[in-house]
Amino acid sequence: MRTELHFHLLPGVDDGPRDDQEAIELARLAVADGTSRVVVTPHARLAEIEALPALTARLDEVLREASVELDLRCGAELSPDDVGWLDQDELEIIAQGPPEERWALLEAPLVTGDVSLESAANELRRRGFGVLIGHPERSPMTPAATVHELAALGAVIQINASSLTGRHGPQARAAALSFARSRLPFLLASDAHSPSRPPQMTAAASELLAAGIDGAAVRAAVDVLPGTILRHGLSAAHRPGAYGPHGRRLRLGQRERAAMRLARSTQVFLDRRRGF
């Protein structure tokens, strides 16, 4: 089951789908791209946080009536400036992970704000939440060194699939590949907003493989780690080779064989998509 952790799908809330029909079309594109579960992440600053669970449940019903099989979870995308004005209950509404290891999606900012990414991440940790760093490769005001420091403190990097496919320009693509090669824990998400800005997870996986990223690492970033940290928390991503394709802990002797199977299955899947 492929899980997406950064996806703007709620209609009429932020700069995502304008209405139910656009949301249905976007959800169908996600399913066609191989996704089975989505954490819906509207921009927190544009949403009424307490209303998000009900809005997510409503959209779930809309998709069911349209025969779109996509499991939805309630979340939100925080900007650094958002963290200070959300109370603990509001953070809990949009947080993910098990009770003992909750975490939130915090975007690396695209414009200069009053609060830095580092300060916001520190505040979230102080309040008991881990940090999934959203699209740091797109943030001109976030040095790579800051991302490395946050990862050393337990954060996980979320790279946009569209950065790898070139939508955001050569600098974002180069930065995305740099993070993927850095040995820091990373995963992919689409950050999809509309049918004109659709999910591109499979295409992004192809880009990573073409750039020489190990097949097992690609499969983990696309198909394994998102679901794993949703179930087990961010610490699971900091255990190299510790999780197999279904989130189960592997014995040490199984790790190399699991990596080889993942690499082979990823390449076969992508070759089929390309028509080879």
Kindly state the average pLDDT of the residues 198-217.
96
Contact between 191 and 220 (Cβ < 8 Å): no
Kindly state the average pLDDT of the residues 8-35.
97
- pLDDT over 70 (residue 265): no
Q: 20 — phi, psi (to 5°)?
A: -60, -40
| Domain, as residue range, for 195 | 77-274
Nearest Cα neighbor of 101 from 55, 167, 32, 156 is 156
Q: pLDDT class for 264, splitting at 50, 70, 90? A: very low
| 26 belongs to a structural domain | no
- pLDDT reported for residue 271: 42
166 by DSSP, 3-state: which? Answer: coil
Greater confidence (149 vs 263) lies with: 149
User: What is the tally of structural domains in the chain?
Assistant: 1
Q: What is the CATH number of the domain that holds 84?
A: 3.20.20
- pLDDT reported for residue 270: 40
Cα separation, 105 vs 75, whole angstroms: 8
Kindly state the average pLDDT of the residues 40-44.
98
Token readout for 126 is: 């102080």
| 118 belongs to a structural domain | yes
- pLDDT reported for residue 239: 79
Q: What is the mean pLDDT of the chain?
A: 89
- Least-confidence region, from 182-186, 200-204, 209-213: 182-186
Q: pLDDT class for 241, splitting at 50, 70, 90? A: low
- pLDDT reported for residue 240: 62
- pLDDT reported for residue 15: 94
| 263 belongs to a structural domain | yes
Cα separation, 196 vs 204, whole angstroms: 17
- pLDDT over 50 (residue 216): yes
Per-residue pLDDT tens over the stretch 66-115? 999 999 999 999 999 999 999 999 999 999 999 999 999 999 999 999 99
| 15 belongs to a structural domain | no
| 54 belongs to a structural domain | no
- pLDDT reported for residue 218: 96
- pLDDT over 50 (residue 267): no
Nearest Cα neighbor of 193 from 36, 2, 1, 38 is 38
| 29 belongs to a structural domain | no
- pLDDT reported for residue 253: 37
The gap from C-alpha 145 to its chain's centroid, in whole angstroms, comes to 21
Q: pLDDT class for 249, splitting at 50, 70, 90? A: very low
Cα separation, 24 vs 195, whole angstroms: 9
| 60 belongs to a structural domain | no
| 111 belongs to a structural domain | yes
